[in-house]
Amino acid sequence: MSETERFQLGTVGALSLSVVSSVSIVICNKALISALGFHFATTLTSWHLLVTFCSLHVALWMKLFEHKPFDARAVMGFGILNGISIGLLNLSLGFNSVGFYQMTKLAIIPCTVLLETLFFRKKFSRTIQLSLCVLLLGVGIATVTDLQLNALGSVLSLLAVMTTCIAQIMTNTIQKRFKVSSTQLLYQSCPYQAMTLFIIGPFLDGLLTNENVFAFKYTPQVLVFIILSCLISVSVNFSTFLVIGKTSPVTYQVLGHLKTCLVLAFGYVLLHDPFNWRNIAGILVALGGMLLYSYFCIREGQQKSLEASSQLSQAKESESDPLIVIENGAGIVNDAPKAPVWTSNKDLHA
């Protein structure tokens, strides 16, 4: 199996793992929050990250991956920023209507495209932009209902979008810049993310729910679902870093909207959530946008591979061309050395 085929297989595996684990944890958390009344989402996320770090520490002890320390300040800043972005997203949901929160999530893709274009000189073709517009339109039709605006909620949403975009772009750039794997980056940043959410989690949850996480009655059923949620979160966190590292922040957001559509469908089938023709139409439009995005990404990737291989073959041919030709053109050097001359019909290469 060639290197390209292995990379493509790994990318498909990462995308599949991300979808399955994310949909699973949403269903689990929905049962925990809706059915069992555990509304402390930020604190629960801090437990997720703690369990993820412990799992990776065990994997390191079993030598399943290699610890690779790098810039400590970059890791600390990245971990704290990730934790803050999670807290801001939860605050945005708490201080806005559900419809405006969904609009906030939709704004992450165009914001990421804008930041990567301005600061990383990344180019997005018209076809990719068109497919993203179709995707966002479909998800908007399926999920956005009421749009109630308020000043505080709008500021929180803006901060949530900016921090989320920057954190996801950093996830990709740090892996490439320091040549670390998704596992190595997750292992080193997890403690800072968990610490940030441990500190702000109980306060934010108390502000949003008027309840105390430490005074909650933890029945055996609640504990089972919390443990299950934490175990699934290991796969969610790992696949998130893996997908962003192998693809891009924009592709990860596209995948996130696929998860949203699947959650809506599973909610209707398994939990009998309300569902109407608007939801169905939106999901179909969104899936069409995802298919277009996937098709254009694959086509552009193949074109870049062909261009790279063509340039490589041209470079090899140019290296094999002689710069100097012996004066008699016979290719045989006589005993008496002769001065070489540059031929007029040959290109000169530095």
Q: What percent of the chain stands above pLDDT 70? A: 85
The whole-chain average pLDDT of the chain stands at: 84
In the block, tokens 């109630």 appear at: 148
Whether residue 171 is found in the same domain as residue 238 = yes
Examine the pLDDT at 276 and tell me if it is beyond 60: yes
What tokens appear for 145 in the block? 């209902």
Give the Cα separation of 242 and 185 in Å (integer): 10
pLDDT tier for residue 173 given thresholds of 50, 70 and 90: very high
> What pLDDT digit, counting tens, does each position of 36-61 carry?
899 999 999 999 999 999 999 999 99
Which of 82-86, 312-316, 338-342 comes out lowest in average pLDDT?
Answer: 338-342
- Interval 115-138: pLDDT, tens: 999 998 888 999 999 999 999 999
Contact 11, 17 (CB under 8 A): no
Calpha distance 141→314 (Å, rounded): 49
CA atoms within 13 A on the CB side of 140: 15
Higher pLDDT, 150 or 110: 110
Q: Are residues 145 and 161 in the same domain?
A: no
Q: Which of 290, 303, 299, 304 is nearest to 130 (CA)?
A: 290
CB atoms within 10 A of CB 204: 21
Residue 323 has pLDDT above 50, yes or no: no
Compute the distance between CA of residue 287 and CA of residue 63 in angstroms, rounded to an integer: 40
pLDDT-based confidence at residue 216 (cuts at 50, 70, 90) = very high
- 156: domain range? 23-96+150-246
What are the backbone dihedrals phi and psi of residue 343, each rounded to the nearest 5 degrees, phi first? -85, 150
Q: Calculate mean pLDDT across residues 139-157.
A: 81
256 shares a domain with 185? no
Q: What is the pTM of this model?
A: 0.79
The answer to whether residues 136 and 197 belong to one domain is no
143 with 285, same domain: the answer is yes
User: Are both 158 and 29 inside the same structural domain?
Assistant: yes
Residue 212 has pLDDT above 70, yes or no: yes
Q: How many structural domains comprise the chain?
A: 2
pLDDT at 328 over 80: no
Mean pLDDT of 202-231: 93
- Give the pLDDT confidence score for residue 2 in this predicted structure: 67
Residue 341 lies in a domain: no
Q: How confident is the model at residue 316 (pLDDT cuts 50, 70, 90)?
A: low
Q: Summarize the confidence of residues 296-317 as an average pLDDT.
A: 77
